[in-house]
Amino acid sequence: MRILRYLIALIAISTFSSSQIYAQCTTTIDDFPYFEGFESGSFSSHWTGAGIASGNGNQDVGWQVKSGGTNTGGTGPTGAATGTYYAYTETTQGFTGAQNTVLILKAACFDLPSNTAPYVTFNYHMRANADADMGTLALEVKTTGSWTTVWSDTGNQGSNWQAAEVDLSSYAGNTIEMRFYAVTGSSNAAYRGDRAIDNLLVSTGLDANDPACPGDANGSIEASAIFGAGTAYSYSWNTGDTTATITGLTAGTYTVTITNTGASTNKVLSTTLVDPATPTPSGLSATSSNICENENTPVTLSIDFPSEDSIFSITTSITGDNGSNNTAGSSASWSITGIPPYASDSASLTFYYRGDMEAAAEYVTAVSENGSSIIASDPAGGQCQGAYSSKDTLVAPDSINAWALDGSVGITGVPAGMTRYCNAGGGNFYSWRAYFTISFPVSASIPYWFENSCDSVVANAVDSGYTVTVQPTSSTTYYVRYYLASCDLWSDCDSITVSVDTAPEVSVSPANPNYCGTAAALTASGASAYAWSPGTGLNQTSGSVVQASPSSSTTYTIIGVDGNGCSDTTTTTVTVTSGPSASITGTNIDCFGDSDGAAVVSTSGTTGTVTYAWSTGGTGTSITGLTAGTYTVTVSDGTTCQAIESINITQPSAALTVNIATNNTCNGSSNGSATAFAFGGTGSKSFSWSTGSTSNFIFGLSAGNYTVTVTDANGCTVSDTITITQPTTALSVSSTSTTMVSCNGGNDGAITVAGTGGTPSYTYSWSTGATTATITGLTAGNYTVTILDAASCFAGNFFTITEPATAVSVSVSSSTNITCNGGNDGAATASGTGGTGTKTYAWSSGGTSATETGLTAGTYTVTATDANGCTDTDDVTLTQPNAVSATFTTSNVSCNGGNDGSATASGTGGSGTYTGYAWTTGGTAATVTGLTAGTYTVTVTDNNGCTGTASTTITEPTVLSVTATESNVSCFGGNDGSASASASGGTSSYSYSWSTGGSGSSITGLTAGTYTVTATDANGCTETDVVILTQPTVLVASIGTPTDVSCNGGNDGAATASATGGTTSYSYAWSGGGG
């Protein structure tokens, strides 16, 4: 059954458009899977190549099929990827000007299955000297609308064939068209940009059939693949099977490894089988979902799902690629989706088409399952006659899985509602539209119906069948499901509720009344709408209340309907009869307001017992003690008819008095008056006032009440009272608000007054000259106001504006200076007097209390404000002691490197009394001793605990040194040597002590030897030096062998002397004759 997924799309006629079926594809739909290795040496009819679609024109470039190498060295392959032939673009001719040229090669169309992931693989070759020479190669796909690039490569890819694989799973279940889109290079060497393709494979490799029933093991999968150089394939399934097709499968995922044994390449594919979903009855309906309990209405329940072995059918249409006009060889295609669950293995397909087309040639061919198309042939020109006819029903010979619809058949009838299309121009164009119906026998049992639950026990079913009739007496929910015997499977339930509504109970009041000449009011109740019949004598035939005035006794039928549409019927009879008559006489009232009236009724034409009902509640023939008014009596006799009569009991008009008064102008005066007028009553009137006056006018009245009594000719009296008024209270003026002066000596006082009593309005006059109710800008003092009202009555008052007895004053009552220099423990307390009420304080340091603490040395201002906002300020200056420090008495170190220094500290600043010293040496006394040269710091603490530090430096002399110099002995053994010493450093002056006992800076008369000198400075520091005096060695003179005189008397004798020792150089002094 799964194979049908790529045969026919179930598209309703009302929503079908030609673009859904055919316009998407402009080449033949090829079998799937599809392989093209170009081994025929040319393009098949399914491929179309375009030359230059854009670019510079005139170059002979395009797609070709070739073997061997291309025409230009350094570009193109040397042979096919596999086999002999391949497709390529030849860009050699023209040499220049072929750059940026678009080259398109369209492949076939393919119906991709929806149950597995389709893919496309191919080899490609892109060789050039440089990337700019080559350009790009892309694979594009479209279903409808524009092309989408699914793969591309750019530039030089070397001399070897490359492989590409593109996932098409996003297009599964669609018909697609493919094309290769090449753009030549941008350089002047674009002629070296040949590119090639080979071994195009479009496949999923798997065709799967789900199990027929949930849990069945009858699913199957067929594996097929075309890839690699060889044509032999082996299969290895995860089930252990090694054949291309595996059967007997349950729901689950299955994987196969397909190996091309010739090329030693493989591909792994996978798909999932699923059990059919549990079916649910569809189209459940009832002829009525609401019935009434008293109507015994039968209800028909039905479902749309067919019964056992019935046919599930759908009809749709196919329109050609050019709308209604098609050329020979044009085609239309379709695919199947939405096949009913549990369809049996056989199905039929019926085509409908224009009958005149068959006159020239068989123009419709229904091809095999993978093609799923209709192909049009070329009819004879000008054939536009004829009507739509049907082609014989084509039945799959074995099963849906072996769908085969090849061959031609005869014409067998015309479907209803077909539209005729024709091209009046004739020739090689003609119109056609093919309609078809697909029918699938469905294996399902008779549905079973259950009440109030979804049951699965046939014995509990209340009925069975595609349509059943029920007649519930109360609201009931009906559940329906069917049993699939072929799968031993119950479908899911669907349900529908039939509500049984309670019927109304209609009644009419009064029941069976008499009509005595006055319309009888009939009221129906118990329903929401009513229909009355017959309409004779009724004012209306609908509504709950009608007026009945029949000319003869009539029985009326009333049908009442409630909100649910349920009804009830009742009747009432109106009997026509004559009734009693009545008349009333009355006695009117003498004086207005009395109750001495009376009324008497008399009757005639009565039957049986007569009763009386007065509007006063009386039940006799007469009523007395009546006041003025209308009185009604209802007389009833044995016929239930009534006579109703009324009478009006009257009285004289009241002796009304209208009193016109003139009131007093000022409180306490007597200038009022009153006039009485009498109306109504009977005859002439007399007047009697409470003052004793009998005139209708009285005057000179003070404030008070005055009564007049009026008597008419019947002696009826009426009294009225008038009140002479005066202003309710005497005119006065008082303050509504008084604002006293806020601050002593200020002028912000104010007074607002209001007049009361007397006769408004009022004017004011102040002692200040002001004439308004409010005066402002007042200082302390007394102020008088006079008020005059509209009646010229006047009154006065005076007011006093006060001020605080004293002005606000503030002083700093106490302050605390800072204990230690730089501290913040100062404090100040302010005290406010005078002014009004409680004082608030504001310090210049930010504080708002009377006492401000945490202060450092400085001047602070405090402002005191009283309850009226009056202020005063005061200043206080807080001081601090000088910083604690120290002075020193020191004794420096006597000798360099010594430790006899000392220092004594004396505290300064602070409180002047010092309680402790702390030296960096650890000493705690004022004096520290035994000091070497250096700086020493002491911390001094005074009796307030304030501390300060000071430092002093102990010095030492420079290092004492002494240098001795010598003058050596001149001759060996002599004593003319001497030595001198010179001291430096230390503390001058210096003294010397020699080892010879000498005490000067020099000594003489020294023989050779070692001598020590000690230098002592002014501090007694000493330093020693040593000097060594030397002497020459012993001086020795010698004479060498003399040369005697040769001749006596001669003088050629000679002698040579030499000396050693002593101190060079030598001088010689000879003695003897020679001199």
Residues above pLDDT 90, as percent of the chain: 32
Kindly state whether residues 45 and 146 are assigned to the same domain. yes
Predicted confidence (pLDDT) at residue 296 exceeds the cutoff of 70: yes
At 482-511, the pLDDT tens digits run 877 767 788 888 999 999 888 899 999 888
Average pLDDT over residues 650-672: 72
Q: Is residue 128 part of a domain?
A: yes
Kindly state whether residues 613 and 703 are assigned to the same domain. no
- The CATH number of residue 940's host domain is 2.60.40
Kindly state whether residues 604 and 695 are assigned to the same domain. no
5 backbone dihedrals φ, ψ, rounded to 5°: -65, -20
Average pLDDT over residues 786-815: 89
Q: Is residue 383 part of a domain?
A: no
Nearest Cα neighbor of 294 from 557, 525, 503 is: 503
- The CATH number of residue 141's host domain is 2.60.120.200
Residues above pLDDT 70, as percent of the chain: 78
For position 14, what pLDDT does the model report? Answer: 22
Domain boundary among 665, 689, 724: 724
Q: Which amino acid is at 638?
A: G
Length of the chain: 1075
* CA 471 to each of CA 285, 289, 320, 465: distance values in angstroms, whole numbers, following the listed order: 15, 12, 54, 16
For position 226, what pLDDT does the model report? Answer: 59
Tokens of 749: 């006082």
Tokens of 685: 């009137």
Q: Is residue 109 part of a domain?
A: yes
358 backbone dihedrals φ, ψ, rounded to 5°: -80, -10
For position 376, what pLDDT does the model report? Answer: 37
Kindly state whether residues 57 and 128 are assigned to the same domain. yes
- Under the banding of pLDDT at 50, 70 and 90, the label for residue 25 is low
For position 662, what pLDDT does the model report? Answer: 67
* CA 85 to each of CA 88, 203, 1011: distance values in angstroms, whole numbers, following the listed order: 10, 21, 127
Kindly state whether residues 86 and 139 are assigned to the same domain. yes
- Which of 149-163, 192-206, 441-455, 550-564 bottoms out in mean pLDDT, i.e. has the lowest? 441-455
Q: How many Cβ atoms from other residues are within 10 Å of residue 345's Cβ?
A: 15
Kindly state whether residues 623 and 641 are assigned to the same domain. yes
Q: Is residue 978 part of a domain?
A: no
Kindly state whether residues 891 and 847 are assigned to the same domain. no
Predicted confidence (pLDDT) at residue 720 exceeds the cutoff of 70: yes
Task: Tell the residue number behind the tokens 């005290």, with chain if given.
Answer: 831
* CA 445 to each of CA 212, 315, 384, 962: distance values in angstroms, whole numbers, following the listed order: 16, 25, 48, 142
Q: Is residue 1012 part of a domain?
A: no
Q: Is residue 1017 part of a domain?
A: no
Kindly state whether residues 142 and 67 are assigned to the same domain. yes
- Under the banding of pLDDT at 50, 70 and 90, the label for residue 227 is low
Q: Is residue 666 part of a domain?
A: yes
At 56-67, the pLDDT tens digits run 443 445 788 889
For position 177, what pLDDT does the model report? Answer: 86
Kindly state whether residues 778 and 896 are assigned to the same domain. no
- The CATH number of residue 753's host domain is 2.60.40.1080
Determine the structural domain holding residue 617 and report its residue range. 581-649
Domain boundary among 923, 954, 985: 954
Kindly state whether residues 593 and 740 are assigned to the same domain. no
For residues 487 and 782, the model is more confident at: 782
Average pLDDT over residues 251-269: 81
For position 953, what pLDDT does the model report? Answer: 95
For position 942, what pLDDT does the model report? Answer: 93
For position 712, what pLDDT does the model report? Answer: 80
Q: Is residue 1025 part of a domain?
A: no
Q: How many Cβ atoms from other residues are within 10 Å of residue 814's Cβ?
A: 12
Domain boundary among 878, 893, 925: 878
What pTM does this model have? 0.39
At 861-918, the pLDDT tens digits run 999 999 988 999 999 999 999 999 999 999 999 999 999 999 999 999 988 899 999 9
For position 879, what pLDDT does the model report? Answer: 93
For position 94, what pLDDT does the model report? Answer: 46
For residues 1013 and 26, the model is more confident at: 1013
Domains identified in the chain, total number: 9
Kindly state whether residues 191 and 43 are assigned to the same domain. yes
Kindly state whether residues 75 and 155 are assigned to the same domain. yes
For position 238, what pLDDT does the model report? Answer: 94
Tokens of 51: 């030359």
For position 800, what pLDDT does the model report? Answer: 93
